[in-house]
């Protein structure tokens, strides 16, 4: 069990390193699709791996905690995808750092509360954790679909280069939405 936790923690931090200082770094500054790869790397890969790897200091989590964490994650994700917030993060290193740390913190909050140790109210808490993950999946899918199917680009106006491909702003946004759907 300790080996699995250690490996998960290590893989989570390696994922963060690849996203935050690896080859994605230059790409996601100009491309929404590349940004979405980074975003999904943080919330859907690194956060759960780190949560598995963290020794849980909390003995018990309130039954509603996973639902609260899911709501916090929803607010963070949708808030940072508002056009003004996205533009701020695109043009400011400080804003990008705040955005990425808030994605990681919200993701860790969600995964840690959903995977908290069992206690006396385990069935209710387990159900709340499962529902919180379902709610998170639904809102992320909805946002991805809205971004993919939008009639006009919400982010940027001109062409961008995403991993060597030249895309229009609408194509870049649609590709980013599709990445979010996965």
Can you read off the two tokens belonging to residue 163?
């991993």
**Closest among 67, 78, 60 to 131, alpha carbons compared:** 67
Domain containing 17 equals 2-181
Cβ atoms of 147 and 177 within 8 Å: the answer is: yes
Q: How many separate domains does the chain show?
A: 1
Q: What global pTM score does this model have?
A: 0.89
**Closest among 130, 73, 133, 141 to 107, alpha carbons compared:** 73
Name the 3-class secondary structure at 158: coil
Reported as a single tens digit per residue, the pLDDT across 123-176 is 787 888 899 999 999 999 999 999 999 999 998 778 887 777 788 889 999 999
Which contiguous run of DSSP H or E holds residue 166? strand 165-167
Say which residue, 98 or 26, is predicted with more confidence. 98
């Amino acid at each position: 069990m300790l080996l699995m936790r250690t490996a998960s923690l290590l893989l989570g931090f390696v994922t963060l390193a690849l996203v935050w200082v690896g080859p994605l770094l230059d790409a996601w500054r100009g491309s929404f699709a590349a940004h979405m790869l980074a975003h999904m790397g943080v919330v859907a890969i690194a956060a759960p791996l780190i949560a598995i790897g963290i020794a849980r200091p909390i003995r018990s989590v309130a039954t509603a905690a996973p639902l609260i964490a899911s709501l916090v994650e929803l607010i963070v994700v949708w808030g940072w995808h508002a056009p003004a917030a996205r533009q701020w993060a695109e043009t400011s290193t400080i804003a990008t750092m705040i955005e990425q740390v808030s994605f990681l913190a919200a993701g860790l909050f969600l995964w840690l509360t959903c995977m908290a140790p069992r206690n006396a109210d385990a069935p209710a808490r387990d159900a709340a954790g499962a529902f919180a993950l379902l709610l998170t999946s639904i809102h992320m899918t909805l946002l991805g679909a809205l971004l993919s199917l939008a009639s006009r680009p919400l982010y940027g106006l001109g062409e961008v280069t995403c991993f060597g491909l030249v895309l229009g702003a609408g194509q870049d946004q649609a590709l980013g939405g599709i990445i979010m759907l996965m």
